[in-house]
Structure 1
Amino acid sequence: MRDVAPDQDRHLPTTHASLAHGVPPAARATIFALSVAGGISVGPKEGRTLVFGRNRPEVHVCVGEDDPRVSRQHGVLTHTGERWWIRNTGRLPVRLPGGRLLFAEEEPVPLAEGYTPVFVRGSSGREHLLELFVTGADGGRPAARHRDATQQPVLWRLDDDERLVLVVLGQRYLLHEHRPQPLSWRQAADQLAELQPDAGWTPKRVEHAVTAIRTRMSRGGVPGLTREEVGEPVGNALNDNLIRELVLSTTLVPPDLEMLGDT
């Protein structure tokens, strides 16, 4: 295991509060890393490396020590170019915020300032949490903003036909089904034809309407809505990403299901 310099370094006990609540004041770009087995905080220095994984004697932060699905050395955190980076060295991917999976063969990913939860998948559906926190210019947690106005989500503008198409396409998400998927073009067109018999709905018309919405939202900054971003095979990924963005932004909400009547 690579040693870390003693200056600004501190071991975190198993009783340490979640890093989601913030960290004590520290030099800018200090990293805190914590699991249920404890953790460590170290100051920034070019080339510094912290190792996390199952083998407690050989890592700086022990993660999933009783779970053989977790690699003995599952990943590293390295300070280079004035930033901290995370790299996966284990057999299984680690999950980053936004559902991003980081595999062993991939390039390291930079960590943003503030709190980052990292999940290491284990046996029998278990997921082991590694909490990371990189301090910013203020050297600690963000300032409390109790009285600030709540920032509203971005609501995407939809006309009546677009909203109806999307509610039909994404109804399983609004119904909170387990692992929902969008309807197929044919399924959506058949249901739309029942709702609006004289509107001339066909699978191609549904596809063109949804593609236009995806294109508009992609230009508006929403990731994961183009084939170039997702890669082949695309499958349902584009429409899945679309519906999830619309639901998370509250552009589509469960009461919209009233548009479907009793069908």
Structure 2
Amino acid sequence: MLDFKVNNEKCISCGLCANECPVGIIDMKDIPSIEQEKEELCIKCQHCMAVCPTEALSILGKNLEESLKNKGNLPDPKAMGEMVKTRRSIRKYKQENISKELINELLTTASFAPTGGNSNSVQFTVIDNLEAMHKFRDLAYSLIKNQGEAGKIDEKLSFINDFQKGWYQNGTDVIFRGAPHLLIASVPKTALSPEEDTLIALSYFELLANANGIGTLWNGLVKWTINDVANELLEILEIPSDHKIGYAMLFGKPAVKYPRAIQSEGVHIHTAKID
């Protein structure tokens, strides 16, 4: 049941909900309605509720009072542009925890990221404290070492085995960079666009993290380690077996400050000319 409800006293029959419905299942007569046989076509995007100018409509049992009001409080474009341009990949971190409350707030907001077919099925697997991160890092290097000694690492990923040697020889942590936190985004393999969904969600998280002074690093080494070298880590992290890992991200308080942005090598723009 979609629990599609319309307050007749508030509805002004503007038709916005019907016009905005991505699958066109809202019938507009005197007031909007959805025929029962069309309910299964709904992608649960809640556009109809969000666009209603008079707060006359609700769906999926949602309480309109719990929806954030769009007051047009957009970030300053210049400041947003400067944040994007000065953002750096952080590979040195302070050995301090980000508060669990802030991490949860960032992830909750990042969950608003769009997904293919509005599946909203991205799972965030996070290591939210230093102690757990240190244990996971030690375990990962140990498993890499075991796989390397058993000759079970694909030649194209032999550099990951080299990284574990550096870790045991001199404590150089190339894979995890001493980061206090790790975030992995995964999604069911049956999703319409599994990899894209995770990348968009992580992009949302990164922007939010940077706005809060938190450094991030997109980390393919962690993804390869978990997926292709030591996939026992999947079970340890309790990532569902039917999920596909899109990417991994390290984050924490930066231990280095960059006083200026880099200078771009130029933008590549192709303007399509359609005759």
Q: Same fold (TM over 0.5)?
A: no
Task: Give the TM-score normalised by the residue count of structure 1.
Answer: 0.27
Whose helix proportion is higher, 1 or 2? 2
Whose strand proportion is higher, 1 or 2? 1
Q: Which has the higher contact order (CA 8 A, sep 6+)?
A: 2
Task: Give the TM-score normalised by the residue count of structure 2.
Answer: 0.26
